[in-house]
Structure 1
Amino acid sequence: MTEPAPINRRFDEDVHFNSVSPGPPRYRTRTEKPVRYFTVVDKEDGAVLGYLWANDEDDAAAWEPREAAGPRAFREGGIWHARLEAAKGRGILPSQALRELLANPEGNKGRALPDSLTNAPNAAAVETLAKGD
């Protein structure tokens, strides 16, 4: 009779997994459902920089930079995105975040255009608007 093979101690121990945090809470960035959005303009010259939209049903909200505004729109988007993340971190609905940001309209180089809150059929419609002239 042969001796049993030695057990590899590595396989004899319990397996442990380290949990990795998914990062800060975020709203979804796509929805096919209707959204509310407002326009953000440059503080100096009034040029449209982009649009901030939200939808409660899909827990979605995002910044859509206006393509024609170039790098200014992308830089300004960081400010509005951070403000959305902070709102999500407080656990508020996207529509509440939108109202809150519209009530406190100042970004870095941009500001929310008063009375610009309106509806769109979905996020893709806002994206199309941002790609237009």
Structure 2
Amino acid sequence: MSSEQPLNSRFAEDLQMKQVAGPATYNRNTDGPVAYLEVADRAGTVIGYVWANDKDGAAGWVVPQGLSPQAVNAGGRWVRALRGGRARELAPTALLTELAQGGNDNEHSHVVPGSRTEAPSLAALKELAAGG
């Protein structure tokens, strides 16, 4: 007889990942136009774009390609601002207005003054961030 214990069948089953709770978030996609702000680091390099669309209740953060790890990490503050705005039940563009007024600026990153503008679509903003 073998001294091995039989494997419990529950350990052999595939796990089904299912999120059951988490922070409220804005929708991450929209087919409509998006208002956006440029966010720069203290050297003036654009490290991302905060965007919003009220019609779809959508908002998010787009990161340009080729950034240093430090610059990418600085974007975490802006992602948290998005979560905080959603938790306070702000409309996406209302949060953008708050951020444009310096509501999330710090010594590492800030909204570029006068950068609020609109892109015809989220895809167009992503293309801009990709350098195209």
CA–CA distance in structure 1, aligned partners of residues 58 and 70 of structure 2: 24
With the length of structure 1 as denominator, give the TM-score of the two structures.
0.78
Q: Give runs of aligned pairs for residues 1-133 of structure 1, distance below 5 A.
A: 21-43=20-42, 45-103=43-101, 104-107=103-106, 109-132=108-131
Q: Runs of 4+ in structure 1 displaced over 6 angstroms?
A: none
CA, structure 1 residues 72+127, in 2 after alignment: closer, same or farther (shift >3 Å)? farther
Please tell me the root mean square deviation across aligned C-alpha atoms, in Å.
1.7
SS at structure 2 position matched to 1:37: strand
CA–CA distance in structure 2, aligned partners of residues 108 and 122 of structure 1: 31
Q: Which has a greater percent of helix?
A: 1
Deviation at 1:84, TM superposition (A): 0.6
Gapped regions of structure 2 (runs ≥ 5) = 1-18
With the length of structure 2 as denominator, give the TM-score of the two structures.
0.79
Cα displacement string for residues 65-111 of structure 1 (whole angstroms, at most 9, x for unaligned residues): 11132323421221101011011001110000111111125146211
CA–CA distance in structure 2, aligned partners of residues 23 and 49 of structure 1: 26
Paired residues of 2:78 and 2:104 also in contact (CA < 8 A): no
Aligned residues: 113
AA in 2 matched with 1:88: R
Paired residues of 2:38 and 2:115 also in contact (CA < 8 A): yes
- Greater C-alpha Rg: 1
Gapped regions of structure 1 (runs ≥ 5) = 1-19
AA in 1 matched with 2:53: N
